[in-house]
Amino acid sequence: MDPAAHPVSPAAPPEGLARELAGDLPCAWCNYNLRGLSVRSVCPECGAAVRATILARVDPYADVLRPIIFPRITAAGLLVWAFASLGAALLVWGMRIADAIIVVWAYNPGFQWMPRLGFMCCVAAAVGGLVLIRPHAGIAPRNIASAVLGVAAVLGVAYMYRRVHIQFDPSHIKPYFAGDGMLPERIWLRLEMGTALIIALFCLRPNARLLAARSLLLRMGRVDRQTMRAMALSIAVGMLGDVLHLLGPRLPNAVARFSDSLGDFLIAVGAMLFTVGLIGVVLDTLRIAPELLRPALSIARLLGEHAPEPAAEKAP
């Protein structure tokens, strides 16, 4: 940006503002550290007003945010939760690609390790999700209980993942690549897994949003507010496809063929949207995690003043 576009107002600010910045503050235009300068001065590198940088960078909610109890563990847990969830989903795509290679080219690519690694990713996601139960003080008891249920649901997903991909699939016809591959037993297992996934998303969402709101990222729109809700909708789309497969044998032949084709389409679309949503969660987590390791920038911190204790939160 051109600092000339942000000129210093000719009106002199109150004398009380003529104090030095006690904390680090990179200039919003050239990243020069303004520490030690008066809030009435300008950046010596680019000439932008210090006050303009303060308005651009300081979080007005910083002084009322509760401190994270274990910031490094919380940041690491969030990353494990996000990356492990994405890894489990990508490994399912890998299994289906391996099935296609086996059916079309009669060649086994040797991807038998994928189901077990995917199961381990699901368990790792549950372990990482533990940091969402009570990352800081003042969280409403119902939010804590919701997060506990969410972690339990992720463990349920891991259990169903194991039943589908480790116990069921290796001894049955490849799903989606054979006429009778969509067996009712497998469909019911997928429906149970989808239900557990939706429960996990909705139960973990409140505390995940609390952590996101610790910085300006969520309030500035740089973190998607609806990712987890949209992911739950994508799972519901795939579950609708499974229901159509269950209904197929009860319908006339022509309708059953259409129902099966539509079911395959909905399952594929739902899986693709869910994977895209997981990628969005990973990107948001990469933005949020660094913010958990440092206190939010406030006026009191810049001026070296003692920040007031946050007011006690009331349970909603």
Task: Answer yes or no: is 3 within a domain.
Answer: no
Task: Answer yes or no: is 309 within a domain.
Answer: no
Task: Answer yes or no: is 18 within a domain.
Answer: no
Check residue 310 and give its pLDDT: 44
Task: Answer yes or no: is 52 within a domain.
Answer: no
Task: Answer yes or no: is 157 within a domain.
Answer: yes
Task: Answer yes or no: is 175 within a domain.
Answer: yes
Task: Answer yes or no: is 164 within a domain.
Answer: yes
Q: Is 70 exceeded by the pLDDT of residue 7?
A: no
Check residue 309 and give its pLDDT: 46
Q: What is the mean pLDDT of residues 23-34?
A: 81
Q: Residue 193: which domain range?
A: 65-292
Q: What is the mean pLDDT of residues 243-257?
A: 88
Task: Answer yes or no: is 17 within a domain.
Answer: no
Q: What angle do CA 192, 125, 296 make, to 5 degrees?
A: 130
Secondary structure (DSSP) of 237-250: HHHHHHHHHHHGGG
Q: Give 89-126 as a 3 state SS string.
A: HHHHHHHHHHHHHHHHHCCCCCCCCHHHHHHHHHHHHH
Number of domains in the chain: 1
Per mean pLDDT, which range of 178-182, 203-207, 304-308 is the poorest? 304-308
